[in-house]
Amino acid sequence: MQAHRVLIVDDDPDILRIMQDNLELDGYRVIVAASGRAALESVRIREPDLVILDLALPDIDGIQVCRCIRDLSEVPIIMLTARDRVADKVLGLEAGADDYLVKPFDYLELAARIKACLRRYRTSHGASDIVEVGDLKIDGNQRIVWKKGEKVQLTHRQFSLLLLLARNAGRALSRSEIRRHLWPDQGLYAGSRAIDVHVQHLRSKLEEDPGNPVNIITVQGVGYMWSDAYGE
């Protein structure tokens, strides 16, 4: 089984080093970020399985970083903070965090919370979620796609869009419906143009002829549909 990828976000190099050393000893693959912007970039590109997020960051407030991560991913988030007020905990959880740990903390407690978050995430996403359409096999749990047996690299948004289309194969989905499922908070992705761009990227990776797609087709006046039989 492939090791889980854990992203640690903290601007204290000593804390980063200590947590990284301990997590790697426990078999995790560790990604580190010392700022909010670096954290968001890592979530977009590296797609971690869990994020450990400090609230006191030098550039972007940790609460805002948490909200931005939630726009990108459903990845479990454990917040770290020196603030122990109930109001701070509630604010963090409402921003999308799955758990909350107050500094200073014992690593064994953090390790237990990581395992619990990953376990809850696996349970909530089901034991098996395999979708097969055309020459694709899509694993919804592991977020992996194979085309004719070869693994295809997709970003988090591209995968989410593909899975939505595949689960609704043969049914046209409007842009507003796609947006409602993938980006419920609207945010940066409120415009239809963003969806069109993601569709173009998917076609470039999955269609034999992206300029003349036969699977991810445009339904004029509606939106998009996965079809094994019809082109645009």
Confidence band (pLDDT; 50, 70, 90) for 83?
A: confident
- The CATH number assigned to the domain with range 130-226 reads 1.10.10.10
pLDDT of residue 207: 94
Please compute the mean of the pLDDT values over residues 127-152 and round it to a whole number: 84
pLDDT of residue 8: 97
Confidence band (pLDDT; 50, 70, 90) for 205?
A: very high
pLDDT per residue as tens digits for the range 87-109: 777 788 888 888 888 888 899 99
Average pLDDT along the chain: 85
3-state SS class at 151? strand
Q: Compute CA distances 132 → 100, 149, 165, 178, 214, whole Å.
A: 38, 12, 12, 20, 16
pLDDT of residue 189: 45
Task: Give CATH 3.40.50.2300 domain extents, the chain.
Answer: 5-124
Confidence band (pLDDT; 50, 70, 90) for 231?
A: very low
pLDDT per residue as tens digits for the range 64-75: 999 999 888 888
Confidence band (pLDDT; 50, 70, 90) for 202?
A: very high
Its CATH class, for the domain covering 5-124, is alpha beta
pLDDT of residue 232: 39
3-state SS class at 137? strand
Confidence band (pLDDT; 50, 70, 90) for 230?
A: very low
- Between these two residues, 17 and 188, which has the higher pLDDT value? 17
Confidence band (pLDDT; 50, 70, 90) for 217?
A: very high
Q: Compute CA distances 108 → 51, 105, 113, whole Å.
A: 17, 9, 9
- Beta-bridge partners for 150: 147
Confidence band (pLDDT; 50, 70, 90) for 229?
A: low
Query: Which of 12-17's residues contact partners 24+ apart within 8 Å by CB, and which partners?
Result: 12/54, 15/54
On the question of pLDDT at 224 being above 80, the answer is yes
* CB atoms near residue 223 (< 10 Å): 20
Q: Do residues 147 and 208 make contact, with C-beta atoms less than 8 angstroms apart?
A: no
pLDDT per residue as tens digits for the range 119-130: 877 765 554 578
Task: Give CATH 1.10.10.10 domain extents, the chain.
Answer: 130-226
